[in-house]
């Protein structure tokens, strides 16, 4: 185990998941989607580029759907609780 490699590959996704208030039960999927997208962009000459592109596309679409669900949940809960203080609401959506 190389702690620098392990943390540097997951830390950005973990921070983003906190900013967007990704539910704990979705974090592992979120990390995998980020890894799939990063692997695709980091391997432009890979022999299995089509498979990497497919995984990256699924990851990006899944991430987008999750963020939409989180925004819906936050807009429903906003009258009852305060949203993540790192986010500001603009045009009905929360932004970092």
pLDDT tens sequence for the chain (96 residues)? 677 666 677 788 888 888 878 888 888 888 888 888 888 887 667 788 889 899 999 999 998 888 888 888 777 655 555 555 556 565 555 555
Helix ranges (H only) for 20-48 are 27-42
pTM above 0.75, yes or no: no
CB neighbourhood size of 88 (10 A): 11
pLDDT reported for residue 58: 93
């Amino acid at each position: 185990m190389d702690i620098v490699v392990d943390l540097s590959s997951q830390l950005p996704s973990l921070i983003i998941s906190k900013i967007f208030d990704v539910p704990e039960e979705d974090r592992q999927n979120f990390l995998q989607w980020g890894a799939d997208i990063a692997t695709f962009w980091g391997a432009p000459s890979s022999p299995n580029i089509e498979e990497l592109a497919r995984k990256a596309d699924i990851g990006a679409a899944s991430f987008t759907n999750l963020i939409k669900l989180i925004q819906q949940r936050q807009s429903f809960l906003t009258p009852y609780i305060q949203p993540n203080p790192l986010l500001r609401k603009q045009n009905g959506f929360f932004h970092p």
